[in-house]
């Protein structure tokens, strides 16, 4: 009976924390959907957001919402830097070149953070308190509830933006047929830059919630979110936002169950095993459409 109870409790935790994974995967997948390129520096973008959001806290003990806004602004600047260095000047027809430049950028940003902080994790206070909520017989962590709320709000905004605004329509047009969109008067470059602004703003939000739920801003944060982001993006299907939600929740639940019942290292093996198998057996992902 306790076994079932534990399984359900971990299921709830996994679903809530999975919202964070869904957001990470969503950021990766939007960039891929619009530009048909991986941005492997996205994890560093997120990490830069969470570190820089600590600046106003250290300077004048700012409240949490100012930290979030600072994180978003900083992440947007870093995102524009990534777009400028890694994508703008790449010649067409070299598929792997932007993959490599973003890896280069990942190293540079991560090292800049490591050098600036002496590789020591910085304590990241949670504004949500540490008193768990009671949900029937189950206990729920307050920061996980915040992650859940943030996830729902962000995805609602993203879908509104993508399907109810002119910019969203331009983004979807570029994602589907860049040349045709260009002919019809959509500036592909502008859409690309705005896509970076959008995903970087998301990176700032993710950076805040990731650091809050871990309890500190740590230099291995970028490797962590990069791993999760790739798994979620590929699990759900490249370029599919609903896929990112399904993939994120699925990964969250699987990880919490695996951690509880098998142990932490098996959790990571499981995640990469799923990544490998999905790529090999169903490259289009769970929700993706097969393209040739």
What residue ranges bind another protein (CB under 8 A)?
Answer: 37-38, 85-86, 89-91, 94-101, 103-108, 110-112, 223, 227, 230, 234, 265-266, 268-269, 272-273, 275-276, 279-280, 283
| Shortest distance (Å) from residue 291 CB to another protein | 12
| Shortest distance (Å) from residue 2 CB to another protein | 26
Please name which of 249, 251, 267 lies closest in space to residue 259, comparing C-alpha atoms: 267
Q: Which is nearer to another protein, 125 or 283 (CB)?
A: 283
| Shortest distance (Å) from residue 229 CB to another protein | 11
Helix 96-117 vs helix 42-52: crossing angle, to nearest 10? 20
Q: Which is nearer to another protein, 100 or 180 (CB)?
A: 100
| Shortest distance (Å) from residue 178 CB to another protein | 17
Please name which of 250, 242, 211, 58 lies closest in space to residue 121, comparing C-alpha atoms: 211
Q: Which is nearer to another protein, 41 or 212 (CB)?
A: 41
Q: Which is nearer to another protein, 64 or 274 (CB)?
A: 274
Both tokens assigned to 235: 């699990």
Q: Which is nearer to another protein, 140 or 287 (CB)?
A: 287
Q: Which is nearer to another protein, 58 or 89 (CB)?
A: 89
DSSP letter assigned to residue 140: E
Residue 153 has phi, psi (to 5 degrees) of: -65, -45
Distance, CA of 254 to CA of 270 (rounded, Å): 9
Distance, CA of 87 to CA of 173 (rounded, Å): 20
DSSP letter assigned to residue 254: H
Please name which of 166, 127, 176 lies closest in space to residue 149, comparing C-alpha atoms: 127
| Shortest distance (Å) from residue 230 CB to another protein | 6
260 CB neighbour count, 10 Å cutoff: 16
For residue 135, list its beta bridge partners. 138
Both tokens assigned to 246: 């399904």
Both tokens assigned to 153: 């709000």
Q: Which is nearer to another protein, 45 or 101 (CB)?
A: 101
| Shortest distance (Å) from residue 253 CB to another protein | 20
| Shortest distance (Å) from residue 254 CB to another protein | 15
Q: Which is nearer to another protein, 261 or 276 (CB)?
A: 276
Q: Within 13 Å and on the Cβ side, how many CA atoms surround 54? A: 19
Longest dimension (CA), the chain: 63
Note whether 199 and 31 are within 8 A (CB): yes
| Shortest distance (Å) from residue 23 CB to another protein | 20
């Amino acid at each position: 009976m306790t076994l079932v109870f534990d399984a359900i409790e971990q299921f709830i935790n996994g679903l809530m924390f999975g919202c964070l994974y869904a957001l990470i995967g969503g950021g990766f997948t939007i960039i891929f959907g619009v530009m048909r390129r991986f941005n492997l520096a996205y994890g560093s973008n997120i990490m830069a957001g969470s570190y820089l959001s600590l600046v106003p806290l250290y300077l004048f003990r700012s409240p949490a919402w100012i930290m979030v806004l600072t994180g978003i602004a900083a992440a947007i600047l870093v995102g524009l830097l990534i777009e400028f260095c890694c994508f703008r000047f790449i010649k067409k027809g070299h598929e792997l070149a932007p993959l490599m430049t973003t890896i280069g950028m990942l190293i540079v940003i991560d090292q800049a953070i490591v050098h600036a902080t002496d590789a020591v994790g910085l304590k990241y206070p949670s504004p949500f308190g540490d008193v768990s909520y009671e949900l029937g017989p189950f206990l729920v962590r307050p920061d996980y509830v915040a992650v859940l709320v943030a996830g729902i709000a962000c995805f609602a905004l993203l879908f509104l933006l993508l399907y109810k605004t002119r910019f969203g329509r331009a983004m979807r047009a570029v994602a589907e047929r860049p040349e045709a969109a260009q002919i019809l008067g959509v500036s592909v470059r502008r859409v690309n830059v705005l896509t970076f602004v959008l995903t970087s703003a998301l990176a700032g939000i993710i950076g805040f919630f990731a650091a809050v739920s871990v309890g500190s801003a740590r230099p291995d944060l970028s490797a962590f979110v990069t791993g999760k982001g790739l798994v979620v993006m590929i699990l759900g299907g490249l370029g599919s936002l609903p896929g990112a939600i399904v993939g994120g929740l699925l990964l969250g639940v699987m990880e919490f169950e695996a951690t509880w019942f098998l142990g932490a290292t098996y959790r990571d093996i499981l995640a990469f095993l799923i990544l490998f198998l999905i790529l090999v057996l169903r490259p289009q992902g769970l929700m993706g459409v097969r393209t040739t």
